Amino acid sequence: MPDRAPQPVDRQLPTDEARDLISLVRDIAGREIAPKAAGEEDAAHFPREVFTLLSDAGLLGLPYDSEYGGGDQPYEVYLQVLEELAAARLTVGLGVSVHTLACYALAAHGAKQQQVEHLPAMLGGGLLGAYCLSEPSSGSDAASLRTRAVRDGDGWILTGTKAWITHGGIADFYTVMARTGEEGPRGITAFLVPGDAEGLSAAAPERKMGLKGSPTAQVHLDGVRVGDDRRIGEEGQGFAIALSALDSGRLGIAACAIGLAQAALDEAVAYVTGRQQFGRPVSDFQGLRFMLADMATQIEAGRALYLAAARLRDAGRPFAPQAAMAKLHCTDAAMRVTTDAVQLLGGYGYTADFPVERYMREAKVLQIVEGTNQIQRMVIARHLAGPEGR
Ligand SMILES: Cc1cc2nc3c(=O)[nH]c(=O)nc-3n(C[C@H](O)[C@H](O)[C@H](O)COP(=O)(O)OP(=O)(O)OC[C@H]3O[C@@H](n4cnc5c(N)ncnc54)[C@H](O)[C@@H]3O)c2cc1C
């Protein structure tokens, strides 16, 4: 059964422009994204044409500077757009979030000349990005990465393997963290590598539990040469850039999780109010009513939490612990809500005839990406009690 168009959420938006933006996204989501989600996820098909459409509509660079083709939108608005997209299809919401993450290094730390040269195509010229931090032997301990960049005349030669790369093999550009110096976080530098660079190749996509439409693949860098004009920021600054990108990226994951949870709740409400047992709708039974109430409460709390963190960011205030809390709460909530949605649909919930089993499989990955939820707890605790082992 094709996914239903997402139910409109009553949103507090700061401007008329933001309201128009949400209407536009709902229109695209209802027409172009939700109806094809089930079939294309089943077939592991990545909807590249949807990303072209979003780019043409100005939706792939929303939180960035309009001087370079961005949308000048506050995070508060950008994240609600992501939530709407993820409610229609997680592959799209998460894909936009990862693309935004991949643009961050250049937009926030690039030299003016680099920004003028590359950003317009990245933010609104139809290009799709990937963010390459993880490796086969370094996930949570990302600072131990081994991919090397070695100076070669006026450029660099990159060699190594990046793992779990969203859009790996289909991206037009890769923001790559590579080691240029000492072991540990201070020896890492960021580079912008074109997707068609000689020596760059991708393995076959991972065969995942869910999110099958979104390709995740190892990316091999076999002596890839880039000019020094593709180094982003200073030598040794790459890990700090990667982590500050993730502070914002985690808010994107939080918003996607709430979109997914909202879609599951909407589906569950529609089902239980129609399904009759014992001569009445099953939504009459208090046990189920209380489940619905708990699901809605977790979603509203998550939305409020990610928006509070976004408003701190928009005000130029520190927001890293709040972003970690939002990622932790919203993705755990999505896991619980989607699991309960399957329960509310009974046996039908366990079949692919309804989208809730897919939502449940998709929710799981959100507890893992951009720092597992154990890592989010470490980030939060460090702000409370200082670094471990002091
Ligand atoms: C679908 C998908 C898409 C992804 N996309 C990208 C991408 O685009 N770019 C990218 O760079 N990466 C990406 N990743 C990688 C992702 O960020 C990592 O999987 C994640 O950071 C965890 O790393 P790991 O898988 O190596 O697990 P590990 O780090 O090996 O962790 C294994 C377990 O140990 C726990 N653990 C580890 N250290 C600690 C600790 N100190 N305290 C407590 N528990 C700990 C973890 O929480 C986990 O439960 C993606 C992953 C997936 C599954």
CATH code for the domain in which residue 98 is found: 1.10.540.10
- The predicted structure's pLDDT at residue 1: 63
Tell me, rounded to whole angstroms, the distance of Cα 292 from its chain centroid.
26
Query: Are residues 263 and 142 part of one domain?
Result: no
Judge whether 154 lies within some domain.
yes
Paired tokens of 293:
């109430």
Closest ligand 1 atom to 140 CA: 29
Picking from 46, 21, 51, the residue whose alpha carbon sits closest to that of residue 36 is 46
Atom index in ligand 1 nearest the CA of residue 368 equals 20
Structurally, the chain folds into a number of domains equal to 3
Query: Under 8 Å CB-to-CB from 219, ≥6 apart: which residues?
Result: 130, 132, 161, 162, 165, 168, 169, 174, 200, 201, 202, 203
Measured at the CA of 95, the angle between CA 92 and CA 101, to 5 degrees, comes to 145
Cβ proximity of 68 and 106 under 8 Å: no
Q: Are residues 118 and 248 in the same domain?
A: no
Rounded Cα distance between 334 and 362, Å, is 9
CATH number of the domain that residue 245 is part of: 1.20.140.10
Backbone angles phi, psi at 33, to 5 degrees: -110, -60
Q: What is the pLDDT of residue 263?
A: 98
Is 293 inside a domain boundary?
yes
135: which DSSP letter? B
Domain extent at residue 218? 129-236
We report the CATH number of the domain holding residue 137 as: 2.40.110.10
List, chain by chain if needed, residues with CB within 6 Å of any ligand 1 atom: 98, 130-134, 139-140, 164-166, 208, 211, 216, 365, 368-372, 374-375, 378
Q: Cβ(275)–Cβ(343) under 8 Å?
A: no
**pLDDT tens-digit readout, 16-51:** 999 999 999 999 999 999 999 999 999 999 999 999
Closest CA to 78 of 384, 307, 338: 307
Task: Give kind and range of the element (H or E) at residue 194.
Answer: strand 188-194
Burial label for 310, CB within 10 Å (0-12, 13-18, 19+), is buried
Of 64, 93, 124, which marks where a domain is finished? 124
User: Does 32 share its domain with 160?
Assistant: no
| Placement of tokens 């929710």 in the chain | 363
Alpha-carbon span 253 to 117, nearest angstrom? 29
Sign, CA dihedral 367-46-124-166, equals positive
Please report the atom of ligand 1 found closest to the CA of residue 211. Answer: 1
Contact 190, 238 (CB under 8 A): yes
Residue 188 shares a structural domain with residue 105: no
Contact 217, 203 (CB under 8 A): yes
Q: Using the structure block, give the residue that is written with the tokens 């470490």.
A: 378
Residue from 100, 134, 141, 212 to probe ligand 1 pocket by mutation (most atoms less than 8 Å from CB): 134
The pLDDT of residue 3: 72
Stretches in the chain below the pLDDT threshold 70: 1-2, 4-6
- How far does residue 267's CA lie from ligand 1's centre (Å)? 30
Q: Is the domain of 244 the same as that of 155?
A: no
Q: Which among 89, 18, 83, 25 is positioned nearest to 305, based on CA atoms?
A: 83
Q: Mark whether 215 and 336 lie in a shared domain.
A: no
Let me know: does 373 contact 331? Beta carbons within 8 Å.
Answer: yes
Residue 5 lies in a domain: no
In a domain, 358, yes or no: yes
370 is catalytic: yes
What are the φ/ψ torsions at residue 164 (nearest 5 degrees)?
65, 35
pLDDT tens, position by position, 294-340? 999 999 999 999 999 999 999 999 999 999 999 999 999 999 999 99
Q: Phi first, then psi: what are they for 131, rounded to 5°? A: -120, 120
| Pair (151, 31) in one structural domain | no
Q: Quote the tokens at residue 180.
A: 């240029």
Residue 226 lies in a domain: yes
Q: Are residues 25 and 156 in the same domain?
A: no
Question: Do 63 and 94 reside in the same domain of the chain?
Answer: yes
Whether residue 185 is contained in a domain is answered as yes
User: Which of 124, 149, 168 corresponds to the end of one domain?
Assistant: 124
Distance CA 359, CA 338 (A): 6
Phi, psi of 202 (to 5 degrees): -125, 145
Cα of 290 from ligand 1 centre, angstroms = 34
Q: Do residues 91 and 168 share a domain?
A: no
Last residue of a domain, one of 103, 124, 145: 124
Q: Which amino acid is at 32?
A: E
> Is 7 a member of any domain?
no
Does residue 11 sit within a domain? no
Same-domain status, 290 and 344: yes
Regarding whether 285 and 272 lie in a shared domain, the answer is yes
Nearest CA to ligand 1 atom 22: 139
CA 132 to ligand 1: nearest atom: 11
Point out the catalytic residue in the list 300, 357, 370, 388. 370
